[in-house]
């Protein structure tokens, strides 16, 4: 039976210093088509040459404003961008296997270890399937449980995310947003994955429910040894939740560091601006809010040089001409930022 061989794979878990997910120079460009023959008139560089690494049981926060390509990056890592709709280059290694080089059968097997939680709790659950069917189906497809065992397994997963009582036969529309998000989490947990890509899992929820879901996620992390790629636009959420943070701007990663280092001494002016927008629960504190001027430039027509230079308060002539590389900043050798002007 196939299900007997699979759990043993978890025993030879890689040691903690190895890399679970390694993204190398990932780029995603969507062609802009128009006209009768749908000829390509341009391209939107949604993700531009990003590199990331996630260690086992680590949480990497990926922050940036709307439209900066964080969701696209997440989907590209999962290889969920439909073939032919985008030009994707670079490599995504999961435990040393290149996801983009995997054959369909291998890919399906790989997917068991990488799951996803979506932002929209309404759209992420199939409205025509009961909760039980939705959570039980992956188990069945991957032959991780025999048919008669599935209801018990589903019940167990639902308990894990805080449901008690009989919800197996209910449909998604009968639940509130937070409950749906928990159902989505239960579905992601069903296959006992190692990495979960959380695509803004709490930004559609009320603040009180946000805390609930975040607590659940971090409890599950310690309980099941999960790693997270945590995508969000709210730095305050990511700051508390992540071990490391990567800041994205216009398809590029502009700064990456340990969460504490990044929040204490941000090096990239964009990160500084993001941090100054986080409300601080302190009285009598003079706010030095750094308000960015202008709009996010179009990724179809990005600015020359550093993509941030038109909005940057400290930009110099060089920034307009040359793209700054990711360099070590400050004392921490893992603190990288792409800026000519900061040290």
Partner 1 sequence: MTDLTLSPMNQPVLPAPRPYWGWVAARLFRPLLVRLCAAYLAVLVLIALLVPLMANGQPYTCIVPATASHAAMRDYPLFRDLSSVDWILLVVAGALAVQVVVMSMSRRLAGPQRMMRRRIGAVVITGIIIIAGSLIAALHHNRLDAVNYRSLARHGLITHAVFPPVPWGYAEMEPLSKGLINQFPSRRHWLGTDGDGRDELSRLLWGARIAMGVGFVSQIIALALGIVVGALTGYFGGIFDIILMRLVEMVESIPTFFLILTFVAVYGRHILDIMVIIGVTGWTGYARLLRAEFFRIRNLDYVLAAQGTGMPLWRVLFKHMLPNGVTPVLVSAGFGLAGAVTIEASLSYLGVGVQPPTASWGSMLNSAGNPATVFRWWQALGPGMLIFITVLAFNLFAESLRDAIDPTTMGRR
Q: Which residues contribute to the site for partner 1 (CB under 8 A)?
A: 75, 78, 80, 82-85, 107-112, 114-116, 118-120, 123-129, 137-138, 141-142, 151, 161-171, 174-176, 178-179, 182, 184, 187, 190-191, 208, 211-212, 214-216
Tell me whether residue 164 or residue 301 sits nearer to partner 1 (CB atom): 164
Identify whether the C-beta of residue 323 lies closer than 8 Å to the C-beta of residue 306: yes
Nearest residue to 26 (alpha-carbon basis) of 77, 98, 78, 66: 77
Shortest gap between Cβ of 128 and partner 1 (angstroms)?
A: 4
Nearest distance, CB of residue 61 and partner 1, angstroms: 17
If DSSP codes are grouped into helix, strand and coil, which group holds residue 62?
strand
Beta bridge partners of residue 39, listed in sequence order:
34
- The helix (run of H) or strand (run of E) holding residue 321 is helix 317-321
The Cα–Cα gap between 211 and 209 comes to 5
Q: Write down the least CB distance from residue 336 to partner 1, Å.
A: 29
Q: With contact defined as beta carbons under 8 Å apart, do 113 and 47 qualify?
A: no
Residues in CB range of 84: below 8 A, 6 or more apart: none
Q: How many beta carbons lie within 10 A of that of residue 270, not counting itself? A: 27
Nearer to partner 1 by Cβ, of 217 and 336: the residue is 217
**Residue placing its CB nearer to partner 1 in the complex, 45 or 119:** 119
Judged by beta carbon, residue 115 or residue 256, the one nearer partner 1 is 115
CB of 269 to partner 1, least distance (A): 31
Of 211 and 326, which CB lies nearer to partner 1 in the complex structure?
211
Q: Environment class of residue 205 by beta-carbon count within 10 Å: exposed (0-12), middle (13-18) or buried (19+)?
A: buried
The least CB distance from residue 136 to partner 1, in Å, is 11
Q: Coil, strand or helix: which one is 248? A: strand
Q: Which residue's CB is nearer to partner 1, number 138 or number 266? A: 138
Q: Which is nearer to partner 1, 129 or 323 (CB)?
A: 129
Closest approach of partner 1 to the CB of residue 228, in Å: 15
Q: Kindly state the smallest distance separating residue 248's Cβ from partner 1, in Å.
A: 20
81's CB contacts (< 8 A; 6+ apart) are 28, 72, 75, 88
Residue-level length of the chain = 343
Residue with tokens 């699979």: 6
């Amino acid at each position: 039976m196939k299900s007997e061989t699979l759990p043993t794979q978890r025993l030879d878990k890689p040691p903690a210093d190895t890399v679970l997910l390694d993204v190398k120079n990932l780029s995603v460009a969507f062609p802009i088509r128009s006209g009768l023959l749908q000829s390509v008139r341009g391209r939107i560089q949604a993700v531009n040459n990003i590199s990331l690494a996630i260690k086992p049981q680590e949480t990497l926060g990926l922050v940036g404003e709307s439209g900066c390509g964080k969701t696209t990056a997440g989907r590209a890592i999962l290889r969920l961008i439909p073939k032919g709709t985008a030009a994707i280059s670079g490599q995504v290694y999961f435990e040393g296997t290149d996801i983009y080089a995997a054959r369909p059968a291998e890919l399906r097997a790989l997917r068991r270890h990488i799951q996803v939680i979506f932002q929209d709790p309404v759209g992420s659950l199939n409205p025509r399937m009961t909760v039980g069917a939705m959570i039980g189906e992956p188990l069945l497809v991957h032959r991780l449980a025999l048919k008669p065992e599935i209801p018990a397994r589903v019940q167990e997963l639902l308990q894990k995310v805080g449901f008690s009582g009989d919800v197996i036969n209910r449909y998604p529309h009968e639940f509130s947003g937070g409950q749906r998000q928990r159902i989505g989490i239960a579905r992601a947990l069903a296959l006992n994955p190692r990495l979960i890509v959380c695509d803004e899992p709490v930004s559609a929820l009320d603040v009180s429910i946000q805390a609930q879901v975040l607590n659940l996620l971090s409890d599950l992390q310690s309980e099941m040894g999960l790693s997270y790629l945590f995508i969000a636009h709210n730095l305050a959420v990511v700051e508390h939740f992540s071990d490391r943070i990567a800041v994205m701007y216009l398809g590029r990663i502009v700064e990456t560091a340990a969460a504490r280092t990044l929040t204490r001494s941000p090096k990239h002016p964009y990160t500084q601006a993001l941090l100054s927008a986080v409300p601080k629960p302190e009285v009598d504190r003079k706010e030095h809010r750094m308000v960015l001027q202008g709009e996010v430039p179009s990724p179809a027509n990005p600015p020359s040089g550093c993509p941030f230079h038109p909005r940057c308060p400290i930009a110099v002539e060089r920034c307009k001409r040359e793209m700054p590389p990711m360099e070590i900043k400050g004392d921490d050798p893992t603190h990288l930022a792409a800026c000519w002007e900061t040290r």
